[in-house]
Structure 1
């Protein structure tokens, strides 16, 4: 299990990039627009991987049902698209990890549930990510994580004869997808995981606390 992978696939939000600040900024913009109390970083950080729906549920709570959800979602996505990389940055050690994969000629890619129009716009700010071997977004295929289809499709595009692919993510759906795809599932604990969650219940093959630790066990 801990033999060197011959391919690696990564989740995006909460794994490669810390996008929570800009997602939270978008939520707070909408909350101010509707004269609602804003939320703090500590409140929205662990919701950042749950998309617009999770963010709006956090911000509006029980009052969400009183509003036009489709309109709110579009307003949030519009603001986020226009301000997609103000405070977003790599998680510590990610650039070193990815550069090392490139040096070892280990192909790697991104499989995210983020909509394609946002994914492709965001990675343009990070040339290392934009130039990866494959990018699969949440609407690239009929199914998205936790279904294994996006991971299997990405692996197919990498065109590896005998794949030993690792998938790294920070959410239960990531581990479910990797396990279903018969890939080595790796959960990164420095992502958007609530400290009260027992990630062992997800049945990951490997747990790491940072990109540096992941690099050390490869």
Structure 2
């Protein structure tokens, strides 16, 4: 392949973080008098924080307070977030002339704190979080901003993600989408997929 850049989502793509998300969100919602089903967790997991809170019935004037509480509780569960098997090997084996990046709906503090236990962020040429652009995925702005920072055209990049939101982001940005099958929601109906990647090693195989 001729891709000059590989952009990655984090949750559900690089990290198996949905179980921790479910536990933390369930605890915090209970403090606000709300419940959380597994189906609701699957729906809101790939969303930006504000979108997820609105979907779960948190009033807009409580977003900041709720988010602060969520981040505080999540900080106690970072040890429950694991990289999917083969992720570091995949990142190490991608050709050196391919730039790596992260495009996530996580806030910068959550991104850096959650990944501190790994050396994954050291490999990234660019990272765009929810704090870096006024719009969130599935708007194309975060992905286009990341590519602009490393001077790579959309046609020369691949965005690897697990969710419909990631697929929509790539399509809107004019970027090929690689579906991380290892982390995808089995109920999702993906339509615009350039590559179905069964495991992280399949990403490396694109360059052989």
Same fold, TM exceeding 0.5? Answer: yes
Corresponding residue for residue 80 of structure 2: 87
Q: Deviations over 1:12-58 (max 9, x none)?
A: 11111111122122123225546776756x87356422355547856
Whole-Å separation in 1 of the counterparts to 2:148 and 2:66: 37
Q: 1:7 to 1:51 in 2, by over 3 A?
A: closer
Question: Are positions 1:24 and 2:31 aligned together?
Answer: no
Partner of 2:104: 112
Q: Report the structure number with the largest CA radius of gyration.
A: 1
Quick check: 1:126 aligned with 2:118? yes
Residue 151 of structure 1, CA deviation: 1.4
Q: CA 1:45/1:91 → structure 2, altered by over 3 Å: closer, same or farther?
A: farther
Give distance in 2, aligned partners of 1:211 and 1:13.
14
Alpha-carbon distance, 1:208 to partner: 1.8
Partner of residue 138, structure 2: 146
Question: In 1, distance between residues paired with 2:154 and 2:25?
Answer: 44
Query: Could you say which residue in structure 2 is the equivalent of 1:196?
Result: 187
Equivalent position of 1:61 in the other structure: none
RMSD: 3.0
Match of 1:11 among 9, 12, 16: 9
Match of 2:194 among 194, 205, 216: 205
Match of 1:48 among 31, 45, 49: 45
User: Normalising by structure 2, what TM-score?
Assistant: 0.81
SS at match of 1:185: strand
Instruction: Give aligned pairs, total.
Output: 205
Q: CA offset at residue 75 of structure 1?
A: 2.2
Which blocks of at least 5 consecutive residues in structure 1 are unaligned? 59-63
The CA distance in 1 between the partners of 2:173 and 2:110, in whole Å, is 25
TM-score, L = length of structure 1: 0.78
Q: Tell me how far apart the structure 1 counterparts of residues 36 and 164 of structure 2 sit (CA, whole Å).
A: 27
SS in 2 for 1:50: coil
- Structure 2 residue runs without a partner (length 5+): none
In 1, Cα distance between the equivalents of 2:128 and 2:120?
16
Describe the shift of the 1:94–1:126 C-alpha distance in structure 2 as closer, same or farther (beyond 3 A): same
